[in-house]
C-alpha cells in the first residue's frame, strides 16, 4: 500500500512538471516585426529633438505578452529627455533596464502586440513610438532602435538608425579631416655636377635634354703642364751642354799632349 502511494505521488509530480513546462516550451507564433523612421529630429545645442518611428507587425500573428523586446541607443552627443524616460516605463507598460544611464536602454513589452491589419480596433494601424533627445554637443553621431522577437521570419527590418541634426552646424565640420597624402619625390636630378660637366639645354632640340658638350679643359691644369715641360727641356739642355764641355775639354787636353810628344821626337 505504501509503495503504491509513493508511485502515485511520483506520477503526479511528473505530470505537474510537464504541465508547467508545456507553455514555456511551446513555439512562439510567427510575427514579422519591423521598424522604420518616420521623421528625424533637429534642435540647437541645449534643445530637445524628437525622432518619430513606426513600429509594425506584419503578422501573421500577434506577439504574446512579455515576448517583444526593444533596445534604444541615443544618438551620440545627446541623452534621453526626461519625458521619454518616463514614457518608456509607464505609457507602454514596459519593464526597462538601463545599460547606460540616460543613453542606452532595453525594455520588454508586457502586453500583446497585434498585427497592423488584425487588431481589436479592426482598423489598419501601427504604433508610432516617439523618442525625445536633449542635444549636448554641436556634433552628433547616429543612434539606433532595435526590436527582438523569438519567432520573427525577417530580421533585416528589425532595426533603424536614429539621427539628430544640430541647428546652425554644418555636418561636414564634424567630420574628421582625412590625412593628407605624403608628397611624391620630385623627378629632378639628385646632385648638381661640377660646372665643367653641366649639360647645356638647347630650347630648339626635339628631345627633353640636349646632349652634353665636352668639358672645357681647366686652364690651371694646362699651365701646370707647360711649366713641367719647360723645366724638363731646360734640364736636358743643361746636361747636354755640360757633357759637351767635358768632351771638348778632354779633346783639348789630348791634342796638347799629342803636340808635345811630336815636338819631343
Q: Any idea where the domains of the chain sit in the sequence?
A: 28-169, 236-265
Q: pLDDT higher for 124 or 14?
A: 124
Q: pLDDT higher for 230 or 120?
A: 120
In angstroms, the CA 141 to CA 139 distance is 7
Q: pLDDT higher for 192 or 256?
A: 256
In angstroms, the CA 59 to CA 31 distance is 5
18 pLDDT above the threshold of 50: no
Global model pTM greater than 0.85:
no
CA quadruple 238, 239, 245, 249: dihedral, nearest 10: 150
Q: 151 exposed, middle or buried (CB, 10 Å; 0-12, 13-18, 19+)?
A: middle
Mean pLDDT, residues 187-197: 50
In 3D, which of 47, 171, 58 has the Cα closest to residue 116?
A: 58
pLDDT band at 201 (very low <50, low <70, confident <90, very high): very low
SS3 83: helix
Mean of per-residue pLDDT scores for the chain: 76
Percent of the chain with pLDDT over 70: 60
Percent of the chain with pLDDT over 90: 48
In angstroms, the CA 199 to CA 212 distance is 4
Per-residue pLDDT, 235:
56
Burial 29-41 (b: 16+ CB within 10 A, else e): eebbbbbeeeeeb
Query: pLDDT tens for residues 60-81?
Result: 999 999 999 999 999 999 999 9
Which range, 18-22, 108-112, 200-204, is most confident?
108-112
Q: Which CATH architecture has domain 28-169?
A: Sandwich (2.60)
Amino acid at each position: 500500500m505504501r509503495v503504491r502511494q509513493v508511485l502515485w505521488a511520483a506520477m503526479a509530480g511528473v505530470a505537474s512538471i510537464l504541465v508547467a513546462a508545456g507553455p514555456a516550451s511551446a513555439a512562439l507564433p510567427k510575427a514579422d516585426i519591423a521598424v522604420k523612421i518616420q521623421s528625424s529630429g533637429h534642435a540647437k545645442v541645449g534643445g530637445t529633438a524628437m525622432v518619430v518611428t513606426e513600429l509594425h507587425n506584419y503578422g501573421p500573428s500577434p506577439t504574446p505578452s512579455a515576448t517583444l523586446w526593444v533596445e534604444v541607443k541615443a544618438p551620440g552627443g545627446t541623452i534621453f529627455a526626461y519625458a521619454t524616460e518616463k514614457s518608456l516605463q509607464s505609457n507602454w507598460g514596459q519593464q526597462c533596464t538601463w545599460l547606460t544611464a540616460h543613453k542606452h536602454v532595453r525594455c520588454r513589452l508586457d502586453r500583446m502586440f497585434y498585427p497592423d491589419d488584425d487588431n481589436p480596433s479592426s482598423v489598419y494601424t501601427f504604433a508610432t513610438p516617439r523618442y525625445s533627445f536633449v542635444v549636448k554637443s554641436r556634433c552628433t553621431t547616429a543612434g539606433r532602435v532595435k526590436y527582438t522577437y523569438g519567432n520573427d521570419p525577417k530580421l533585416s527590418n528589425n532595426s533603424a538608425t536614429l539621427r539628430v541634426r544640430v541647428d546652425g552646424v554644418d555636418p561636414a565640420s564634424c567630420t574628421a579631416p582625412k590625412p593628407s597624402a605624403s608628397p611624391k619625390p620630385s623627378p629632378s636630378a639628385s646632385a648638381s655636377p661640377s660646372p665643367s660637366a653641366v649639360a647645356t639645354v638647347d630650347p630648339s632640340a626635339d628631345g627633353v635634354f640636349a646632349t652634353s658638350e665636352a668639358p672645357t679643359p681647366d686652364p690651371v691644369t694646362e699651365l701646370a703642364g707647360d711649366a713641367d715641360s719647360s723645366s724638363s727641356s731646360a734640364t736636358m739642355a743643361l746636361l747636354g751642354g755640360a757633357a759637351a764641355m767635358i768632351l771638348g775639354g778632354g779633346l783639348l787636353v789630348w791634342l796638347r799632349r799629342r803636340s808635345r810628344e811630336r815636338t819631343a821626337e
